[in-house]
Structure 1
Amino acid sequence: MKKIEQAGLWFAFAGFLISVASCNLAGLKMQENADYHPYVLDPHIDKTTWQFIKDRSYNFAAKDTIFKLMRQAIEYSGIDTNLYIKTNCTFILLHNDAIFRTTLVNSVPTITDDCYWGKYLVNGKPGTKWSDYPKEQVKNYLLYLIVQGAYSFNNLTPTNVTATTLQPLNYDPLNPNSVMTLRINNDQNYNIRLNDFSNSVGYINVRTTNILAINGAIQVIDKVLYYQTK
């Protein structure tokens, strides 16, 4: 029995030598020890939210126009752009997809109902430009996307925070208090989730989270956000 065990050990050792030799024959070097230095991306962008929007809306040279349609909404609505340099706020920024998104229906590009122009119809049809909507409507929607208080991974938990927005009280009959809920979704993706409350039909996951401007926190969404219950 002992001879069998010794033979097994010898064959195992011989196999190891062969594998090392194979690496050398193939021109491959043995892996060397190396120190691992973990690195976490810095979420600070060292600019205001307004500058961040401007930098990523009409930057055609760099092909970076993800806030182009939101910038157009800001300009069309006449909202005070100083609100985007207001401190201690959370700014929900609209990726172009949150405003205009299409899918193929019977091989025909069709605007989806999870973007602003698809959800808020004009004479029963999706909008195609901001001027299809009253300026006051667009302005108040943008005001809803500015939350009082800077919320990010630094201070959110799986328990909802109910925060006040800049939208005027009683403007939205479905949300007369003009509030938004924010929380971390405690799963493997660890997303920040907005308006995920009991019986909600409009909650969404934040697309890009935890961008920290010098005047607050930025959360980027790619679907239309609204407050509504079943």
Structure 2
Amino acid sequence: MKKIKQTAIWFAFAGLLISMAGCNLAGLKMQESADYHPYVLDPHIDKTTWQYIKDRSYNFAGKDTVFKLMRQAIEYSGIDTNLYIKTNCTFILLHNDAVYRTTVVNKVVTPTADCYWGKYLVNGKPATKWSDYPKEQVKNYLLYLIVQGAYSFNNLTPNNVVATTLEPLNYDPLNPTSVMTLRVNDDQNFTMRLNDFSNSVAYVSVRTSNILAVNGAIQVIDRVLFYQAK
């Protein structure tokens, strides 16, 4: 029995050598060893947050339009765009999906409840454009998305930072102090989470994090962000 096992092992090893040789015969080269040089992408974008929004909101020269709906909100609300060049801030930018995302229910296209137009109904129905809302509501929501203090992976930990936003105090009865919490999840993905606090109704995981503008940090989300405890 021992001799049979040894013979089987020898044949398996011989087959491996033949297959390796076959690769060479077929004109395929075996992988060569090479030194690995790790490279970390530079998060700095060398522009203001406002310029970054403009660059990615209208399709000029084939550029993407992921902030198109957010820029429409900015223009409709009349918010001071100089706030997007304000220094030492964290800017939460709305990917189009955070504003308008749909699903199909019974063959009917319906906005989801985790996008702004699907969560904040107008006369019991999802919105179809920003002008369905009062300008003050849109403006104050945009102000909530501007956090005082530049928060990124450089200074966030798994423990929540409770930060003040530019939203007026007492505007939101569910969040009268107009705060937002920020943390990074202690897992292999090290995901940044917003409003992930004890008894939170819902938190948002940042879609694209740690973009460093010349005037602060940018975090991009694709779900509607709000502050509410159970």
Q: TM-score range by the shorter chain?
A: over 0.9
SS at match of 1:66: coil
Partner of 1:193: 193
Q: CA offset at residue 20 of structure 1? A: 3.3
Superposition pairs of residues 112-123 of structure 1, within 5 angstroms: 112-123=112-123
Partner of 1:83: 83
CA change 1:173–1:27 in 2 (3 A) is same
Partner of 2:180: 180
CA change 1:137–1:26 in 2 (3 A) is same
- Are residue 153 (structure 1) and residue 153 (structure 2) matched? yes
**Any idea what the Cα deviations from partners look like across 1:159-198, whole Å, max 9, x if unmatched?**
1110000111111111011000000012232210000001
Partner of 1:111: 111
Question: Relative to structure 2, which stretch is displaced further, 117-126 or 140-149?
Answer: 117-126
CA change 1:25–1:137 in 2 (3 A) is same
- Are residue 222 (structure 1) and residue 213 (structure 2) matched? no
AA of the residue aligned to 2:90: T
Q: Distance in 2 between matches of 1:43 and 1:186?
A: 21
SS at match of 2:212: strand
AA of the residue aligned to 2:109: P
CA change 1:72–1:4 in 2 (3 A) is closer
SS at match of 1:91: strand
Contact 2:147 2:163 (8 Å CA) reproduced: yes
Partner of 1:74: 74
SS at match of 2:220: strand
Superposition pairs of residues 92-103 of structure 1, within 5 angstroms: 92-103=92-103
Superposition pairs of residues 196-211 of structure 1, within 5 angstroms: 196-211=196-211
Q: Distance in 1 between matches of 2:12 and 2:115?
A: 62
Partner of 2:52: 52
SS at match of 1:171: coil
Partner of 1:163: 163
Unaligned residue ranges in structure 1 (runs of 5+): none
Q: Distance in 1 between matches of 2:8 and 2:126?
A: 74
Q: Distance in 2 between matches of 1:90 and 1:17?
A: 58
SS at match of 1:163: strand
Q: CA offset at residue 22 of structure 1? A: 1.6
Q: Distance in 2 between matches of 1:33 and 1:86?
A: 49
Paired residues, number: 230
Q: Distance in 1 between matches of 2:201 and 2:121?
A: 18
Q: CA offset at residue 126 of structure 1? A: 1.2
Percent identity reads 84
**Any idea what the Cα deviations from partners look like across 1:55-74, whole Å, max 9, x if unmatched?**
00012541511111100110
Contact 2:156 2:183 (8 Å CA) reproduced: yes
Question: Relative to structure 2, which stretch is displaced further, 11-20 or 133-142?
Answer: 11-20
Question: Relative to structure 2, which stretch is displaced further, 63-72 or 174-183?
Answer: 63-72
TM-score by length of 2: 0.93
CA change 1:11–1:211 in 2 (3 A) is same
Unaligned residue ranges in structure 2 (runs of 5+): none
